């Protein structure tokens, strides 16, 4: 038995691959373009594992995807592949349109042709699971109820608009062609192998380097935080037992403001890696100009996946954030290897102080 995973060298995808092999002997064919956020070093422990078949390529390459489907005959496709950073989508939206919309369309067409030709038993068992985001729902006011699967789509950034479009394509391929799809919309992930342009790893890395800790606007933007390994277990559960054509919201039930996250990370670093000259890492916090269209609050209502599939997150934010900081402290080589000159220049350009 085999599954095809797209984007399996990125942050969430690589955690999914590693966690999959911790609980399953089933082969994964891992297709990843290895853009700036894809990193084979995340999967170094699988270098000699025959269950992991890595292929460098684009999910929009129809000839390649067709060939992989025919050769490996997967029972499922799990689509993580996406451009996913809001800031980058604001500065350069075209890549997000190409990968998240055009790429998903081409992948769906390849999968539809493959699925249509399967024998009846394999055809009925096949699944296409599309991994999406809570950002497609837009922004919540402080007292609004969390996003449920019934919320209308109101994306506010090029990134979230491109993901919303991909979600609609997946839905349409199910309702028009009968493709057996599942969609998951998750909240903010954090944990090991997170690319250090995102909030939590950026704060850890910059704090240890003695650099400013950039916080957009007033830092009161609220997000629901989900430990990445909990997200992976939820995806496995949806793939195993989710109802065809349904959407499942995946959240950690951990709403916190960005500035509170920064303070917590600084506090853990003060405890585990005190500054040589004394003082707190909080002294490095610098408020910077807010980004355009910055959504104020996201929150996920994860009752559907709990009620239907019995899934609940294992980690609280308190346990997950300590595991995350510990991982970055224990893996300085990974951090140093990923922080190329191009990345450093991008961060400097993005986080000019106000």
| Active-site residue list | 134-135, 159
Token reading at 297? 């609050």
Contacts of 254 (CB under 8 A, 6+ apart): 224, 225, 226, 316, 317
Distance between CA atoms of residues 74 and 115, nearest Å: 10
**Rounded CA gap, 313 and 141, in Å?**
25
The stretches of the chain forming alpha helices (DSSP H) are: 11-23, 62-72, 86-91, 94-96, 104-116, 120-125, 158-177, 199-209, 228-241, 258-272, 303-309, 317-330, 332-338, 341-350
CA-CA-CA-CA torsion sign (86, 87, 89, 95): negative
* 8 Å CB contact between 47 and 16: no
CB-based burial of residue 348 (10 Å sphere; 0-12 exposed, 13-18 middle, 19+ buried)?
Answer: exposed
> d(Cα 279, Cα 190) in Å, to the nearest integer?
27
**Distance (Å, whole) CA 167 – CA 79:** 11
């Amino acid at each position: 038995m085999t599954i095809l995973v797209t984007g399996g060298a990125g942050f969430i995808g690589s955690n999914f691959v590693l966690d999959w092999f911790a609980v399953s002997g089933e082969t994964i064919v891992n297709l990843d373009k290895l853009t700036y956020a894809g990193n084979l070093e995340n999967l170094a422990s699988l270098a000699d594992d025959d269950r992991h078949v890595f292929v460098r390529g684009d999910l929009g390459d129809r000839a390649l995807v067709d060939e992989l489907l025919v050769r490996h005959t997967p029972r499922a496709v799990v689509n993580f592949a996406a451009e996913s950073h809001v800031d980058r989508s604001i500065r350069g939206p075209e890549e997000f349109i190409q990968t998240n919309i055009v790429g998903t369309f081409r992948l769906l067409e390849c999968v539809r042709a493959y699925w249509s030709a399967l024998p009846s038993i394999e055809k009925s068992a096949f699944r296409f699971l599309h991994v999406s985001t809570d950002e497609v729902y837009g922004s919540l006011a402080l007292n609004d109820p969390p996003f449920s699967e019934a919320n209308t789509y109101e994306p506010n950034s090029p990134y979230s608009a491109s993901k919303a479009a991909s979600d609609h394509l997946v839905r349409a391929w199910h309702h028009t062609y009968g493709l057996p799809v599942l969609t998951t919309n998750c909240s903010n992930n954090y944990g090991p192998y997170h690319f250090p342009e995102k909030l939590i790893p950026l704060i850890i890395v910059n704090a240890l380097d003695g650099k400013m800790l950039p916080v957009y606007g007033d830092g009161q933007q609220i997000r629901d935080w989900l430990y990445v390994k909990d997200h992976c277990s939820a995806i496995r559960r949806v793939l195993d037992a989710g109802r065809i054509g349904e959407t499942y919201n995946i959240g950690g039930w951990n709403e916190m403001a960005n500035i509170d996250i920064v303070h917590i990370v600084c506090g853990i670093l003060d405890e585990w890696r005190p500054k040589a000259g004394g003082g707190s890492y909080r002294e490095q916090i610098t408020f910077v100009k807010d980004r355009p269209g910055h959504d104020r609050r996201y929150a996920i209502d994860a009752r559907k996946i709990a009620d239907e599939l019995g899934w609940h997150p294992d980690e609280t934010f308190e346990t997950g954030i300590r595991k995350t900081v510990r991982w970055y402290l224990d893996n300085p080589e990974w951090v140093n290897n990923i922080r190329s000159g191009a990345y450093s220049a991008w961060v400097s350009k993005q986080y000019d102080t106000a």
